[in-house]
Structure 1
Amino acid sequence: MRTISLPRGRQRLHAMPTSTGYEVREDEIYDWDGRRRGQTPFTVLQHTISGTGRLRYENRNYRLQKNDTLLVLVPHNHRYWLAEDERWEYFWISMNGEEALRIHKSILSVSGPVFRLQPATIDHLADCSLRLIKGAASPGAASAVAYEAAMALYDDVFGSHAFAEKQSAMQPVIDHINANLDGPLPVADLVQISGLSRAHFSRCFAESEGLPPAEFVLQQRLQRAAKLLTKADFLPVKEVAI
């Protein structure tokens, strides 16, 4: 086991690591409740190398397997732990600071508390953890490494490859909307076309198109009406109406 707790400086930096390390837990009590870790906000980014961890996040249960990455904010209604007769190998980076919290909140709103990262991102985060364990020369240097880790995570979740995947996943939905602007387009139907859960669909759609589904449909109808008005000197109101 390698772990380090980093002292909090007097300066309030935008991203500051509070702890980091690598551990293998087996046949022991390992249990963190996000409601019982104080009221000072911080985040935990924990990547599973092997084995199994458990997470209860609000009212949903997760089984964390190899290559799963966990992200939680404290204080919050969650709990992660090692179940009886299981083994969990992982590394983690905890940090606080206004910018770190903002970035991680935005990632949680899109990806939820458990997701999978690109191998290069995992290596980058592990390198950041190792550099912190070996010792940053100053609070500023430690802050720079924490911010680097936060931005590596941000680039993976919101970067060009992730954006392209979301756009591709939403294309059948967009095609359906554009082909049926004259008829009803309830969000429930769009969810069914996407094959996602309603909450995940809404997050992915907003990230891909920049608007919630219902607002996007209204925008498309308004644009269609505007085009019809500019293409003819006279059209019946019924044909232009949205």
Structure 2
Amino acid sequence: MDKIPGEPRCIPLLPHEQYSRRTFEFRYMTASRLSMRLHGIGWQSVTSTDYHYNGLRRPDGEGAIFQFTLSGQGAIRYGNREYLVPKHCAFLCTLPSDHVYFFDDAFDHWEFLFIAVRGDDAIRHWLSLIDRFGPVIPFGDKLDPMLCVSRLYSQICGEANPDRYDVSAQLYRFILEMDRFADGYDSEPYQDGSEPLQNAIRFIQSQYASPLSLDDIADVAGLSKSHFSRVFLHKTGIQPMQYLRKIRIEKASALLAQTPKTLETIAKETGFDNSKYLIRVFKALVGTTPNQYRQTSGFGVTRTLRIER
């Protein structure tokens, strides 16, 4: 943001804040093979009802828009329904489509970051996100998708000729962050501060070799079985018994790669009733049998397998 004379300089909190509010448009002299390309990006603050865009009357062809409210609020009519877009919310839309986003005179102001993108992948991903979220998304304090846009705006401001492939890669990064947000996932999905949840996770990680039931794990958490399952799924993205199988298979894979133990012994040491059950679960999660995994590891090799959802 431009410095006001006489005011102490403030350290920007977000990458885009070291620059002033601007809008950049991109056009390409040659046909681009990129299936996700930047068409426009900007940081704006509007206070006039002249700010009004109809998604069926825009002349710039097919595309998609993400617009994140930094302060104030705006609105979007999507189909037959109208939504407010307040601070830390964003809207998604594709072009052309039946929507209108606008500033109303009942609002004080609307400050936002936006990106406009083109390409087959852009349309496909945006439609998928709208299907998952609806047109308006409340982010709360989960701001990683917005930070992707903030960093990209900062780069565009600071570079005269940004590399189109790097820009496209950052747009895909934005999509991945949106997917991560949609899945209720963060970079450390099991590091939640909830003591009951942490007690349950520690119990699973230390007692995976025992014949554990959902009742056993819920008891450690001090919650009813149904409530515990809901909390666990919400915080980690998987069910408790799926997490138990994940831990067991990861432990079994280490024994396969680093020891000569038989499948029957490994099954018993990792909580499986027998080797047949181990083989079935291992193949379902890893895509190969335990013996095939062992053969590709080489005996004694330190190989770590992580099962992700």
What's the TM-score bracket when you normalise by the shorter of the two chains?
A: 0.5 to 0.7
- The 5 A counterparts of 1:199-210 are none
Q: CA deviation at 1:78?
A: 0.3
Alignment of 1:1-242 (within 5 A): 1-8=21-28, 9-38=30-59, 40-86=61-107, 87-117=109-139, 118-135=142-159, 136-158=161-183, 160=185
Q: CA deviation at 1:149?
A: 2.0
C-alpha displacement of 1:167:
5.3
More helix by share: 1
Alpha-carbon deviation of 1:121?
Answer: 3.1
Counterpart Cα distance in 1 of 2:149 and 2:183: 16
Question: What is the rounded CA distance, in whole Å, between the counterparts of 2:72 and 2:103 in structure 1?
Answer: 10
TM normalised by structure 1 equals 0.63
Deviations 1:140-192 (A, max 9, x none): 2222222222222222223535x988758xx9xxxxxxxxxxxxxxxxxxxxx
Structure 1 vs Structure 2 CA RMSD: 2.6
Alpha-carbon distance in 2 for matches of 1:164, 1:6: 45
Helix, strand or coil: the match of 1:52? strand
Would you tell me which structure has more strand in proportion to its own residues?
Answer: 1
Corresponding residue SS for 2:148: helix
Could you tell me which amino acid in structure 2 is paired with residue 21 of structure 1?
A: G
Alpha-carbon deviation of 1:132? 2.8
Q: Is the Cα contact below 8 Å between 2:69 and 2:112 reproduced in 1? A: yes
SS at match of 1:103: helix
Structure of larger gyration radius: 2
Stretches of structure 1 that go unaligned for 5 or more consecutive residues are 172-242
Contact kept? 2:148, 2:173, Cα under 8 Å: no
Q: Which has the higher contact order (CA 8 A, sep 6+)?
A: 1
Q: Cα distance 1:127–1:146, how it changes in 2: closer, same or farther (>3 A)?
A: same
1:123 deviates by: 2.1
Corresponding letter in the other structure for 1:51:
G
Structure 2 residue runs without a partner (length 5+)? 1-20, 187-229, 239-309
Contact 2:113 2:149 in 1 (8 A): no
Cα offset, 1:33, TM superposition: 0.4
TM-score w.r.t. length of structure 2: 0.50
Q: Percent identity?
A: 23
Distance change >3 Å, CA 81–CA 138, structure 1 → 2: same
Check whether the contact 2:64–2:118 (CA below 8 A) recurs between aligned residues.
yes
Question: In 2, are the aligned partners of 1:39 and 1:75 still within 8 Å (CA)?
Answer: no
Partners of 1:54 and 1:127 in 2: CA distance: 25
